[in-house]
Amino acid sequence: MIDNNKKGFTMIELVAVIVVLSILSVFTFSFIDNASKMYTLMRGQSVLYAEGAYIMERITRELGDATTVTVPSSNTLTFNKAHPSVMAVTFTKSGRDLTRNGVIMGGNIKTFNVTKNAAVAPPAGTGDATITVVLELDSLTDTSIPAFSITTKITPNNYGTANYTGRSFNGDYYEVIQ
């Protein structure tokens, strides 16, 4: 007689279960590893991004009040403001820092490029009055964080050009910058 009441697993069933669980654990641990690496990367890059966003916002706000803009080199931006809190403003890349009138605004600056459209001769100029600012940041201390850039185009509100109806405030535009 054959006894069919034996309970248990065969060796093949045990090996199959172990193989399936091993495959599932490899996927689970690789997912957790990738998630932790991404978190670390984003935590480091968010600090750089916050610093870059602050610098770009400050440049954009102050350049909006400009009456004349000079770009003596790609690493320097000089302009005169219409309203007298500080008349002349100069942003300069010095080493890895960006300075405003000699005071450091932020660090970790890889490149700071400013281009001004050459077809403009404010206040009575014709053509495109935009200034393009490109800010590239990276970290020297953590090389796993990739460099990234922030770009903006700005048309100063106080340029007196007739071509920018609705943008020019005829020198009356003013925004309080603390």
Burial 59-69 (b: 16+ CB within 10 A, else e): beebbbbbbeb
Provide the pLDDT for residue 154: 86
**What is the per-residue pLDDT for 41?**
81
Which pLDDT value is given to residue 169?
53
pLDDT tens per residue, range 84-96? 666 788 999 988 8
Report pLDDT digits (tens) over 95-133: 889 999 999 988 889 999 998 876 544 445 555 578 889
Q: What angle do CA 38, 58, 60 make, to 5 degrees?
A: 100
Query: Domain locations in the chain?
Result: 11-154
**Residue type at position 50:** A
Interval 13-65: pLDDT, tens: 999 999 999 999 999 999 999 999 888 888 878 888 889 999 999 998 888 87
Mean pLDDT, range 143-172, rounded to an integer: 67
